[in-house]
Amino acid sequence: MNLLIKGITIADPNSEFNQQTADVRVEQGKISAIEKNLLPLKNEAIFESNGAVLSPGFFDLNCMIGDPGLETKEDIQTGTAAAKAGGFTGLAVLPNTKPVVQSKGEVEYILNRAKNNLVDVFPIGAISHDLEGKELAELFDMKNAGAVAFSDGSKAISDDGFVSRALQYSLGFDGLLMLYPENKSIAGKAQVNESKNNVLLGMKGVPALAEEMQVSRDIFLATYHNAPIHISNISTLGSVALIKKAKKDGVKITCDVAAHQLVFTEDLLNDFDSNYKVKPPLRGKSDQKALLAGLKDGTIDAVSSQHRPHEIEFKDVEFEIAAYGIIALQTVLPLLLQAGLDSNLIAEKLSINPRSILNLTIPKIKKGEVANFVIYNPTKKWEYNATNNASKSSNSPLMGKTLTGKVELVYNNNQFQKYEQ
């Protein structure tokens, strides 16, 4: 579909037009012109920017979609609708479904279900059979079928030898393991951060040590095998320091942080609102400060949504029995803006680096390139509510809140979706 974007500020560190204001023309799915004062053509939709920013389409590294088997939480149609509304043109979806995505059949099912969508959907295969951390899933077959990486989602793998064998095996076909960092024997059944706050709440705390011991183990194994490894959803000051040193030492390690960890802290748990119950738990202000610094100095490669949809009966219950997670695809951008990230850093951490980690094509705002972008207004205020929530679930602490930073248009696969300006 043809589109003319007038007077837009471009935010793409890979573009010669980065941080410049220009008109952008898209014809038959490709960027055909980036110039000043382009005149409209026949049969061309026109978008007036009014202070908006154009960036390569966002990509999420850590998203839960219930299809197959858990479609009452989220299916591919509603998940991609929420993704579009949040500015995402690509999703890497976790294998935590029923059945688990652990063979080429499930990978092919997801790819077929997601065909002809504006949002590109990429399956992540399970590392272990039934996510039990005991027997390798069909990694090679899944890779050949289209899996972009392997993960057991938010389930940590305790068996060090198993992870070692998985790394060694995946090296043979350039497979990437994405590991959740938690030492379960240290974390136990605790559900909130270990600090003075957990004592006040009267609940057992998860020490930062539980995460950092696992990060250390994974760094040792990646070093031993000279294998790439990705750590998902880090949350502590110590994890940032460990990964920073590992990168300096030449370890092939990447990592991401969930957007909510950059804004929310454990203080929000004082009312026992189960919509703030996430895994890893919300940490302290010193952790949050370190995470932001790690994003800015390059230690943390990417931001993820950690989108975890749940039916109401799993969240509208007492805190200690509530499920972990929040829906987040539509609120990542406002949270990053609230955290103080500028448009270039947002493009780097939410568009460029996530695709680079998975060796996917990185869209560029450049003449002749395939059009894959998001337009957002960084100062536009809007209320997140039941009417504009595109997810099938509603477990978000931001529901009913006024947010700043509004996605106004997404374009990919020769399709575009425009939202109210």
Q: Are 231 and 255 in contact (CB under 8 A)?
A: yes
| C-alpha to C-alpha distances, 371 to 27, 221, 257, nearest whole angstrom | 9, 39, 27
What's residue 397's pLDDT?
Answer: 97
3-state helix, strand, coil in the chain (%, to 5): 35, 25, 45
Query: What is the per-residue pLDDT for 54?
Result: 98
The string of pLDDT tens digits covering residues 241-262 is 999 999 999 999 999 999 999 9
What integer pLDDT is reported at residue 405 of this predicted model? 98
Position 1 scores a pLDDT of 80
**Whether 295 contacts 353, CB under 8 Å:** no
DSSP per-residue codes, 250-287: T--EEEEEEGGGGT--GGGGGG--GGG--SSPP--HHH
Per-residue confidence (pLDDT) for residue 369, from 0 to 100: 98
pLDDT tens string 288-346: 999 999 999 999 999 999 999 999 999 999 999 999 999 999 999 999 999 999 999 99
**What is the reported pLDDT for 420?**
85
420, 407 contact by CB (below 8 A): no
The boundaries of every CATH 3.20.20.140 domain in the chain are 57-357
Architecture of domain 57-357: Alpha-Beta Barrel (3.20)
| Token duo for residue 136 | 């390798």
Mean pLDDT for the stretch of residues 89-111: 97
CATH of domain 3-54+366-391+399-418: 2.30.40.10
The two three-digit tokens of residue 189, written as one number: 């059944």
Q: Is the pTM of this model over 0.95?
A: yes
Query: Average pLDDT of the chain?
Result: 97
Least Cα distance to 177 among 145, 130, 222 occurs for: 222
- Percentage of residues of the chain with pLDDT beyond 70: 100
Span(s) in the chain for CATH 2.30.40.10? 3-54+366-391+399-418
pLDDT, residue 200, reads 87
Q: pLDDT digit string (tens) for 163-200?
A: 999 999 999 999 999 999 999 999 999 999 999 989 88
